[in-house]
Amino acid sequence: MSTDESAPPTNFIHEIIEEHNRTGRFDGRVQTRFPPEPNGYLHIGHAKSICLNFGTAKKFGGRCNLRFDDTNPTKEETEYVNSIMEDVRWLGFEWDGLHYASDYFEQLYQWAELLIQKGLAYVDSSTLEEMRGQRGTVSEAGAASPFRDRPAEESLDLFRRMRAGEFPDGAHVLRAKIDMAHPNFLMRDPVLYRIRHAHHHRTGDAWCLYPMYDFAHGYSDSIERVTHSICTLEFENHRPLYDWLIDSVEIYHPQQIEFARLNLTYTVMSKRKLLELVQGGIVSGWDDPRMPTIAGIRRRGYTPEAMRAFCDEIGVTRFNGLTNLVVLENAVRNDLNKRAPRFLAVLKPLKVVLTNYPEDLVEHLDAVNNPEDPAAGSRQVPFSRELYIERDDFMENPPKQFFRLSPGREVRLRYGYLMTCQEAVKDASGEIVELRCTYDPETRGGNAPDGRKVKSTIHWVSASEAVTAEVRLYDHLFSVENVAEIPEDQDWKTFLNPNSLVTVADAKLEPALAALQPGDRCQFERLGYFCVDKDSAAGQPVFNRTVTLKDEWAKIQKKGG
Q: Give least dist CB 37 to ligand ATP, A.
A: 4
Q: Give least dist CB 316 to ligand ATP, A.
A: 9
Residue 325 binding ligand ATP, by CB under 6 A: no
- Out of 270, 334, 420, 447, name the contact with ligand ATP by CB under 6 A: 270
Distance CA 520, CA 541 (A): 12
Q: Is-catalytic flag, 271?
A: yes
Residue 271 binding ligand ATP, by CB under 6 A: yes
As to burial, measured by CB atoms within 10 angstroms (0-12 exposed, 13-18 middle, 19+ buried), residue 16 is: middle
Q: Over the range 175-213, which residues count as b (16 or more CB within 10 Å of their CB) and which as e?
A: bbbbebebeeebbbbbbbbbbeeeebbbbeeebbbbbbe
Q: Over the range 401-420, which residues count as b (16 or more CB within 10 Å of their CB) and which as e?
A: eeebbbbebbbbbbbbbbbb
Nearer to ligand ATP, 17 or 507 (CB): 17
Stretch that binds ligand ATP, among 120-128, 246-254, 267-275, 316-324 (CB under 6 A): 267-275
Q: Give least dist CB 96 to ligand ATP, A.
A: 17
Residue 232 binding ligand ATP, by CB under 6 A: yes
The contacts of residue 464 (CB under 8 Å, 6+ apart) are 362, 382, 384, 386
The 3-state secondary structure of 282-310 reads CCCCCCCCCCCEHHHHHHHCCCHHHHHHH
Nearer to ligand ATP, 229 or 544 (CB): 229
- Out of 17, 20, 26, 35, name the contact with ligand ATP by CB under 6 A: 35
Distance CA 265, CA 477 (A): 10
Site for ligand ATP in 36-55 (CB under 6 A): 36-37, 45-46, 48-49
Q: Is-catalytic flag, 37?
A: yes
Q: Give least dist CB 160 to ligand ATP, A.
A: 30
Distance CA 454, CA 185 (A): 72
For residue 478, the 8-state DSSP code is B
Stretch that binds ligand ATP, among 132-140, 266-274, 313-321, 385-393 (CB under 6 A): 266-274
- Out of 30, 192, 262, 331, name the contact with ligand ATP by CB under 6 A: 262
For residue 178, the 8-state DSSP code is S
Residue of 25, 29, 37, 372 marked active site: 37
505's enclosing H/E stretch is strand 501-509
Q: Give least dist CB 52 to ligand ATP, A.
A: 8
Stretch that binds ligand ATP, among 34-42, 88-96, 122-130, 468-476 (CB under 6 A): 34-42
248's enclosing H/E stretch is helix 239-248
Residue of 175, 177, 271, 508 marked active site: 271
Distance CA 288, CA 281 (A): 11
Q: Give least dist CB 88 to ligand ATP, A.
A: 11
For residue 212, the 8-state DSSP code is -
Cβ–Cβ < 8 Å for 159, 112: yes
Residue 269 binding ligand ATP, by CB under 6 A: yes
Using CB positions, name the residue nearest to ligand ATP. Answer: 45
Amino acid letter, 205? D
As to burial, measured by CB atoms within 10 angstroms (0-12 exposed, 13-18 middle, 19+ buried), residue 227 is: buried
Site for ligand ATP in 356-375 (CB under 6 A): none
- Out of 216, 231, 461, 507, name the contact with ligand ATP by CB under 6 A: 231
Stretch that binds ligand ATP, among 12-20, 35-43, 314-322, 503-511 (CB under 6 A): 35-43
Residue 296 binding ligand ATP, by CB under 6 A: no
- Per-residue binding letters, 134-163, with ligand ATP (x by CB under 6 A): ------------------------------
Nearer to ligand ATP, 86 or 551 (CB): 86
Distance CA 529, CA 197 (A): 50
Q: Which residues contact ligand ATP (rule: CB under 6 A)?
A: 35-37, 45-46, 48-49, 231-232, 261-262, 269-271
Active site residues: 37, 261, 271
